[in-house]
Amino acid sequence: MTRDDWGNVKQRLLKTVGQNNYTTWIDPLALGQMEGGIATVHVPTTFFGNYVSQNFSDLILHEMRSFDTSLSRLKFEVASKSPAPVTRQTDAIQPPRSTTPAAPSAATSYNAPLEKRFSFDTFVVGKPNELAHAAARRVAEGGPVTFNPLFLYGGVGLGKTHLMHAIAQELQARKPELNVLYLSAEQFMYRFVQALRDRKMMDFKEIFRTVDVLMVDDVQFIAGKDSTQEEFFHTFNALVDQNKQIIISADRAPQDIKDLEERVKSRLQCGLVVDLHPTDYELRLGILQTKVDSHRVSYPDLEMDDGILEFLAHRISTNVRVLEGALTRLFAFASLVGRRIDMDLTQDCLADVLRASERKITVEEIQRKVSDHYNIRLSDMIGPKRLRSFARPRQVAMYLCKHMTSRSLPEIGRRFGGRDHTTVMHGVKRIEELKVSDGQIAEDLELLRRSLEA
């Protein structure tokens, strides 16, 4: 086969594999000796040869055979670094090793810093996160890979990053010989773009494909970023093929990440997918108790009334980050003004947080609660019947909607079977009067309000 033929083979491959694959994998190949039906193809690194051999050798051979039908096999060899012609015999391709001497230090430079306090010791376990925690613990033991990838997902501030850091730190402590690479998806993209710009794609690939454990946080970030997704997909496959552990986190389940290619989604789902559920009251209280202990170290003289933590756990249900922030602010504030932490101080200091965390109560919720309370059907409460046994609960519900939601009177009227706003106004007024004169109504209102706020 002449050099021109080789050039033509490459041109044909360009059409088949596309520009990206061509630039990365085909263009760097050089033709070496051809002997006894075997063509030697020179590659820059062992890893490269292995990858091309697995993914493109059939195609390359097919194209070469259209110029030389005597060819039966390809042999990939690492090209000598010397500028001499590459026709010399060099090392035969070996399967890539997990820790080539250069890889750990290079990977280390890609590692995002780990937060010491995000450890398993400081992670409070409760019903909403126990499965995610157990899976994280198992992976952190560094034993045989049983589920790959481990995909952790959950809403904002529920502890995904905390668990990821805990896994990375535990692995480093238990198995220092493992090459663990932890970074965010954003950093992955940044490294990828940088490698493209500096023409260092081979180094990039070598680093990512020689790690033992790859951990990528907030993977939803690569949604809609086509080339990064493509590269991530190849990295992912290469590592899974080598049975290397991958741990991914995201703010939602793989199938719910918009603008993520189907093949990436399905790859992400093929291991164990576990979610961190929104916190419940017990978990929030547990977290607060743990955090208070650490605050007490910084503020040993501060005193706190009983019931404050319970109040916060009850009222701030958005996410753990907000909860932590509230506690930090409370301690700092109390120490500045030199007062004990009581309910007044808490409400003063955290007024904005408490307001923002107020749970939004809906008209439907109120209607359901009130009809349950008075033991009538929801359809009767909303429907046209004017019977007193339906009309009074309806007015109670309207009153609660007016006071516990931000809906306007016409909107409330619409939700009550399309009634006019004047009917709602009349109902609300009637209940306001009864609240003063009728102890039973006052009691009902109080009960309902408490149960809706719970």
Q: What is 48-86 written as a DSSP string?
A: HHHHHHHHHHHHHHHHHHTT-TT--EEEEEEPPSSSS-T
Contact between 96 and ligand ATP (CB under 6 A)?
no
Contact between 99 and ligand ATP (CB under 6 A)?
no
Q: Which of 55, 111, 161, 328 binds ligand ATP (CB under 6 A)?
A: 161
Question: Which residue reads 């007044």 in tokens?
Answer: 344
Q: Which of 76, 118, 331, 416 binds ligand ATP (CB under 6 A)?
A: 118
- The answer to whether 160 is annotated as binding is yes
Contact between 321 and ligand ATP (CB under 6 A)?
yes
Instruction: Enumerate residues 6+ apart whose C-beta is below 8 A from 174.
Output: 140, 141, 142
Q: Within 172-211, which residues bind ligand ATP (CB under 6 A)?
A: none
CB of 111 to ligand ATP, least distance (A): 17
Is cis: bond before 300, omega within 30 of 0? no
Which range, of 74-82, 117-125, 170-178, 371-379, touches ligand ATP by CB under 6 A? 117-125
Contact between 124 and ligand ATP (CB under 6 A)?
yes
Question: Which residue reads 């080598």 in tokens?
Answer: 242
CB distance 114 to 168 below 8 Å: yes
Nearer to ligand ATP, 29 or 350 (CB): 350
Q: Which of 142, 149, 154, 271 binds ligand ATP (CB under 6 A)?
A: 154
Contact between 287 and ligand ATP (CB under 6 A)?
yes
CB distance 170 to 140 below 8 Å: yes
Contact between 128 and ligand ATP (CB under 6 A)?
no
Q: What is 304-336 written as a DSSP string?
A: B-TTHHHHHHHH--S-HHHHHHHHHHHHHHHHH
Contact between 129 and ligand ATP (CB under 6 A)?
yes
Contact between 127 and ligand ATP (CB under 6 A)?
no
CB distance 233 to 263 below 8 Å: yes
Q: Which of 49, 104, 142, 159 binds ligand ATP (CB under 6 A)?
A: 159
> 22-49 burial, b if ≥16 CB within 10 A, otherwise e?
bebbbebbbbbeeeeeebbbbbebbbbb
Residue number with the shortest CB distance to ligand ATP?
Answer: 159
Q: Which of 6, 47, 123, 399 binds ligand ATP (CB under 6 A)?
A: 123
Q: Please name the helix (run of DSSP H) or strand (run of DSSP E) that holds residue 23, with its range, or none.
A: none
Which residue ranges make up the annotated binding site for ATP? 157, 159-161
- Residues making contact with ligand ATP (CB under 6 A): 118, 122-124, 129, 154, 156-162, 251, 287, 320-321, 324
